[in-house]
């Protein structure tokens, strides 16, 4: 897996209902290729869905998110510490 793409993207795509999963798989395949992207550009709704999904995966990757000030691991660690210290569920 590319370090600049979140591993969680696969889980996200797999969780979609089957028809959407198939359509999104096709759209992402197009979006990742220059000629496919040009084709998608003629279908704004489809392009928007594909680009949004790719962006979700890209900006979730720690290597991309950390320079933008977001460290998910630190947020989770702080949460765990607080829950344990205060006996929260």
Identify the helix (H) or strand (E) that includes residue 25: helix 18-31
Q: Which of residues 33-62 bind other proteins (CB under 8 A)?
A: 44-45, 47-48, 51-53, 55-60
- CA separation for the pair 5, 21 (Å, rounded): 18
Question: Minimum distance between the CB of residue 86 and other proteins, rounded to whole angstroms?
Answer: 6
- CA separation for the pair 36, 17 (Å, rounded): 24
Binding region for other proteins (CB under 8 A): 6-9, 11-17, 20, 44-45, 47-48, 51-53, 55-60, 64-65, 68-70, 72-73, 75-76, 78-80, 82-83, 86, 88-89
């Amino acid at each position: 897996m590319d370090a600049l793409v979140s591993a969680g993207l696969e889980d996200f795509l797999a969780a979609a209902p089957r028809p959407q999963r198939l359509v999104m798989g096709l759209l992402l395949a197009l979006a990742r290729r220059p000629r496919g992207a040009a084709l998608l550009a003629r279908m704004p709704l489809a392009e928007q869905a594909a680009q949004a999904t790719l962006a979700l995966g890209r900006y979730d990757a720690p290597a991309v998110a950390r320079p933008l000030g977001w460290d998910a691991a630190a947020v989770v660690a702080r949460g765990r510490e607080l829950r344990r210290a205060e006996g929260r569920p």
